A and B are shown apart, each in its own frame.
Chain A
Amino acid sequence: MRTRKVNMIISLVTIMGGMALVVACGQRNATTVIEGDAAEQVYIAPGEYDEFYAFLSGGFSGQITVYGLPSGRLLREVPVFSQYPENGYGYSEESKPMFNTSYGFVPWDDSHHIELSQQNGEFDGRWLFVNGNNTPRIARVDLSTFETVEILEIPDVAGLHCAPFITENSEYLVSGTRFSIPIPQKDVPIDTYKENFKGLINYVSLDQDHGTMELAFQIEMPGFNYDLARNGKAVSHGWSFLTTYNSEQAHSLLEVNASQKDKDLMAIINWKKAEEYVAAGKFTERPTSYYHNLMDESTGIAHSQEMKMTRILKPEDCPEMVYFIPVPKSPHGCDVDPSGEYIVGNGKLSADMSVYSFSKIMKAIEEKNFDGEIEGIPVINYDAGLHGILQKPGLGPLHTEFDERGNAYTTFFISSEVVKWNVDNLEILDREATFYSPGHLVIPGGETRKPEGKYLVAMNKITKDRYLPTGPELAHSAQLFDISGDKMKLLLDFPTKGEPHYAQAIRADKVKPNSKKFYNIEENAHPYATLGESKTKVVREGDEVHVYMTAMRSHLAPDNIEGFKVGDKVFFHVTNLEQDWDVPHGFAIQGATNAELLVMPGQTKTLLWEPKKVGVYAFYCTDFCSALHQEMSGYARVSAKGADVPLKWGLNETLRENQEQAEKFYEQLENKSK
């Protein structure tokens, strides 16, 4: 009888609690949240520019997107890890090598974390780096052209989630394996995880003049899951901090089995020390295979090189290089404040957040204040390294960014909010609801020594009712907040592409002045470039036919070609002869089984066409370039295999019989115009 009464009371409380939740949710709608002059703050008048560029990773789209802040306008999508038929990236002969990996041609990836290059702990606007999670890779985008110019595979890791975090002078990109695996790969039972599985932390060095990446060394770590990282800055420059989860070393049903321990670990790496060990030859060389794909600036052609050796540092051979410190339950983000003194370790399943002090960690290391060791790595006493605990800030803390006024902003996935708190005194200052469930957040310069705490963008994982519905699949939603005052203020929702994980934002004037308007044709060293209409030609080499074609308003030259045969491999090398801003030409031909080409002024790009059927096929310019764009077209005649139709090509008048006559014709044409 008594238990029934208790049960009834519990039920009643539950129902009332549920109702309270429903009521609370009902109050959370946009109309009650937006106040004051929000529209005016995000309105960029026609012809005016945004104050910041924001680069958002594209998640499962594999690309990155460029937005203007505060308007939230999408400026461009830059293809990185996925083929992009829109401009031929990954389909053109020049860009295909970008996708070469030790697994072959991989035309998709899952891009996660954006890192802009830095000097003295500030963004310099030169390059952008982003990781591919599934086939472990790091890409470099040149911010003068917004083009992907390099992709480096990282060997012997699985799920390169913990990447590519940059040091304050762009010395290194630090990354860690998300999943530990047998190293080298071998055929072993999965339940031998604890004996056979290892994790690698990777240091990729950057050439300071060209940004070229090189895998400098890898550190072999216990078989945990390495999740996220940050490098020290200012006082903590020379150190890296990486969170781990699954220190339980579970290999199945991780949601339960990797969530058992009260504390996981943060790895603390002295990379200056690691450099010394590498210089002293304390590494072991291990044969492996990974690809380095680099675009040649003068030809625009990407070349792949298979690398076959990696240098491994083992913590047990290299004392004072790696430490651990406990972090509450399953940490995710690991963020260093602008001073470099405080490190925030967010335990995503913990009710509290631990904030560490770099100077205390250094003191603990000096005093050898360790609680044992794991595989030769000392574990620093938790309390000795702790600055303090942020008590009950919210549910499911994920990521933290900072402003220049000593405040931190943390996203809470489960309670769906951003919480502002003071780093020094650990006092909670403000909280704002987000719609819904934010993952990463970004403040311009929010991970550097010089944040600009004017705006904050929360990248939400769930969209639901924020926009007109578009069927079951919805765009992920981002939300812009004004954080310049004491209270955060919601200004704007905007839809995003793919699933943005991290983003970085930079003041526009650090990027805009360097943005190229076109490629200088005098610097075009492409082996199939056609620098002038008089040099257009068609050359047969067995079954391969090379068409040296030019594009200029408003014709392609040559525009009539005969003598192709079924079974040929035809390479259209299209050079855009224009030298003006915003005059790309496109090229598409019927029957092509790949994509189109979009050729920027001064560039040469190549499309492979393999005609399968006899006939006459049209080709044309796909980018509306001029008043006579619709006339910018031509025909390719395909004859039967073995037919004796001679190769002829030309523009205007009749077809020229051969190359010599064609050249003569074009020369006359050019002279006439003089």
Chain B
Amino acid sequence: MNGKSHIAQFLMLGAVLCLGILFLQPLWKITLEAAQFPGGLDLYIWINKISGNDKHIIQNINILNHYIGMKPIHPDAIPELRYFPWVVIGMMAFGLICIGVNRPWFYLSWVLVMIGLGALGIYDFYLWLYDYGHNLDPNAPIKIANMNYMPPLFGEKDLLNFYVRSYPNWGGVFLGLAILLGAGAFYLKGKRVYV
């Protein structure tokens, strides 16, 4: 064993720490911009909660959404916010096991599971956005034919008087970084074995 052999373990440790950041930073940020909301309304999607640039943002977005008949956002009613954190903690534990075992296959399976979970998470997020944007109250005061209010998953879009931007936030960036670091660990460890 020389010093180099630890690099894969350090990379994996980095990946685990990156996942830890999901509890400190939001995954995604959706910004609603309109003339009468100076600075815009920022909605942050976390692994375990939904927040805004002030504590009343959800109430205020719900008040606006009721005109078009969109369901109010109730974080309590989104079960993913309760179990996703445990998935992340599980993956952090799995990552620590990988460091202990220090085998390429462990690293690889961690990376594959991570990619799978990430894809599922994004798909789930998409379903929620679709549901909010399409499932509208037929008695809504404002009805526009063929209009849906689904915010973009990634990118920017006009929604009535709002211009909506939806992009990953620091949590999302670190999630990607975790996968890259895991892949790096697998690559280094794998290289050592086969060279």
Contacts and interface: CB of A to CB of B under 8 A. Distances in A.
B41 to A, nearest CB: 10
A169 interface: no
A552 B56 CA distance: 14
B56 A627 contact: no
Contact of B72 (A553, A626, A674): A674
Interface string B30-74: 000000000000000000000000001001100100010001101
A632 to B, nearest CB: 12
Given A627-B67, A628-B67, A628-B141, A674 B76 contact: yes
A511 B81 CA distance: 41
Contacts of A674: 72, 74, 76-77
Contact of B56 (A579, A628, A673): A579
Interface in A616-660: 626-628, 631
Nearest to B59: A579
Contacts of A580: 56, 59-60, 63
A257 B63 CA distance: 69
A578 interface: yes
Interface residues of B, number: 12
A631 B59 CA distance: 21
Contacts of A631: 141
Contacts of B72: 673-674
Contacts of A552: 63
A626 B63 CA distance: 10
Interface in A261-305: none
Contacts of A578: 60, 63
A674 B74 CA distance: 6
Q: Tell me if A's interface is mostly helix, strand, loop or mixed.
A: loop
A553 B67 CA distance: 9
A553 B63 contact: yes
Interface in B72-92: 72, 74, 76-77
Given A627-B67, A674-B74, A674-B76, A579 B141 contact: no
B63 A673 contact: no
A580 B39 CA distance: 14
Contacts of B76: 674
Contacts of A673: 71-72, 74
A518 to B, nearest CB: 9
A579 B54 CA distance: 10
Interface string A378-420: 0000000000000000000000000000000000000000000
Contacts of A579: 56, 59-60
Contacts of B60: 578-580
B145 to A, nearest CB: 18
A206 to B, nearest CB: 33
A627 B59 CA distance: 18
A674 B71 CA distance: 8
Nearest to A517: B54
A552 B76 CA distance: 22
Contacts of A553: 63
Given A579-B60, A580-B63, A627-B141, 8 more contacts: A552-B63, A553-B63, A578-B63, A580-B56, A673-B71, A673-B72, A674-B72, A674-B76
Interface of A: 552-553, 578-580, 626-628, 631, 673-674
18 contacts: A552-B63, A578-B60, A578-B63, A579-B56, A579-B60, A580-B56, A580-B59, A580-B60, A580-B63, A626-B67, A627-B141, A628-B67, A628-B141, A631-B141, A673-B71, A673-B72, A674-B72, A674-B76
Closest 9 CB pairs of A and B: A579-B56, A580-B60, A674-B74, A673-B72, A553-B63, A674-B77, A628-B141, A579-B59, A580-B56
